[in-house]
Amino acid sequence: MAIRLYNTLTRRKEEFVPREPGKASMYACGPTTYNYFHLGNARMLVVFDMIRRYLIHKGFDVTYIQNFTDVDDKIIKRAAEEDCDPIALAGKYINEYFTDAKALNILPADIHPKATEHIPEMIDIIRRLEEKGLAYNIDGDVYFAVDKFPGYGKLSGRTLEDMQAGARVEVDDKKHNPMDFALWKKAKAGEPFWESPWGKGRPGWHIECSAMSLKYLGPGFDIHGGGGDLVFPHHENEIAQSEGCLEGQQFARYWMHNAFITINQEKMSKSLGNFFLVRDVTGKFPGDVIRFYLLGTHYRSPLDFDDEKLVMASKGLDRLKNSVRLAKEALGKALGKEGMTFGIIAANRDQKADNEMAEASLEARNAFEQAMDDDFNSAQAYAALFELAKGINTYLAKVSIKTESLAEAAQTLIELAEILGFDLEAEAEVLQGDSGKLAQVMELVMEIRANARKNKDWTTADLIRDRIKEIGIVIEDTPEGARWYLK
């Protein structure tokens, strides 16, 4: 089945047909680096990381570009407040970005271009727009003339008249039209600047993404993405200045935008002061839980935030991890007992249950792919994962002889989750860390508790179980003996 995605430009789902067969080119607008990024930013970053991963899974050779805005009014303002150099401030938060992105298992882009490293490319586009009569210079400030570009408004679906009537535009008497936007800003005292044909200055916000996406991906690249708040004016302006410069060539083929995260149905944003930094949230919840929460709703649907939803996400992810853990434990016992192999124990298998388990694996793969092929519906893909986990748990409960079908199901669950950026075997890595000391300590704890239960000292046994649960380790008593795992 071909991938179908929702194109903001055409306002409908379309089959994804890349510019070059077998290749996919993507550009996503990265953060403005004057602070740690917040959960609203994280949704966009995680969504396009997921899309990239799925395209790779489908066999595409993906080139993914995500920029950093490292010169901007907000950066300059924050640097002034902290009495530091704006470029140094931006550099600090670029480094911090990678720390938070790693916590959410966001893969680094193939290229992370910075605005300050692409000033010549921006100047070249502005110069060409000026030559075509699409830009004008007034005393060192250069503006794009929106009424000279016939297609202005095609992404947002607004007419120029409607935008002029309803927009809140920065007051600037020099503009020919209130909707005209800055391509180049004349330098002010104390601000960073670069030399240009119009004098000392710095680029406007919108021009940087045109310059960097065209440099690394070229005209007509496949997917341009970002948060829904970027449709207008940022992406609308990108199209105007890029296609105005490209002389009839298309800038980007598909435009994708994720919906907002809200707090009490109000958009999360720094300007409203109702945002939560990823750095703070990861202090309360693991990064994979945050990612699980962010992908638990289709990317084009609003996502309301509160801690309880993260608690629910934690429980959901634990269900998947526990199914994998229990399957591996059962398989380990089956394979380890007297050197048994799947082939030897095959004669004693429950053939009906094995067939059902094998069928569940196949159905999960098909359901997962159908969901993701339909505009990257990660929420529906989750349903396929949970259904397979349920099948694994049912198999474990009723089948005494574990065979290849269980191994295949567990591996299927692991592989499908990995496509979405989740490592369902991560717990094993924790247990092996620091020379396996946690596992060694828990072996001793389990021995002490087993002796307490043998001596019918239920008070001590229960105390150990309850107290260790408080620090995130669960002990379960089963017919096959006690076992433990990280919560």
Q: How far is CA 76 from the centre of its chain?
A: 28
The confidence score (pLDDT) of residue 469 equals 85
Among 217, 158, 154, smallest CA distance to 28 is for: 217
Structure tokens at 262: 């809200």
Over residues 141-185, the pLDDT tens digits come to 999 999 999 999 999 998 877 776 555 445 566 899 999 999 999
pLDDT in tens, 297-353: 999 999 988 889 999 999 999 999 999 999 988 888 777 654 444 444 455 568 899
- Is residue 258 over pLDDT 50? yes
* Structure confidence by residue, pLDDT tens digits, 70-82: 999 999 999 999 9
Report the residue count for the chain. Answer: 487
**Is 38 exposed, middle or buried (CB count within 10 Å of its CB: 0-12, 13-18, 19+)?**
buried
pLDDT digits (tens, 9 = 90+) for 209-224: 999 999 999 999 999 9
- Please measure the distance between the N-terminal and C-terminal CA atoms of the chain and give it in whole angstroms: 38
Q: What is the model's pLDDT at position 442?
A: 79
The pLDDT value recorded for residue 58 is 98
Q: Are 384 and 364 in contact (CB under 8 A)?
A: yes
The 8-class DSSP code of residue 339 comes to G
3-state class (DSSP) for residue 267: strand
Could you tell me which of 473, 103, 485 has the C-alpha nearest to residue 320? 485
Q: How many CB atoms lie within 10 A of CB 427?
A: 17
The tens digit of pLDDT for each residue in 403-451 reads 889 999 999 999 999 999 999 997 644 444 444 567 678 778 888 998 9
HSE-CB at 37 with a 13 A cutoff on CA atoms is 25
Name the 3-class secondary structure at 466.
helix
446-466 residue pLDDT tens:
889 989 888 999 999 899 988
Place of tokens 């595409």: 60
The structure tokens listed for 162 are: 């409607």
Whether residue 87 is predicted with pLDDT greater than 60 in this model: the reply is yes
pLDDT of 35 over the 90 cut: yes
| Residue 309: predicted pLDDT | 93
- Beta bridge partner(s), residue 476: 483
Would you state the torsion angle of the CA atoms of residues 93, 96, 102, 107, taken in this order, to the nearest 10 degrees? 30
Alpha-carbon distances, residue 238 vs 83, 234, 268, 318, 435 (angstroms): 32, 6, 24, 42, 52
Calculate what percentage of the chain has a pLDDT beyond 90: 73
| Model pTM score | 0.87
> For residues 84 and 99, what is the distance between their CA atoms, to the nearest angstrom?
22
- Which tops the pLDDT comparison, 403 or 61? 61
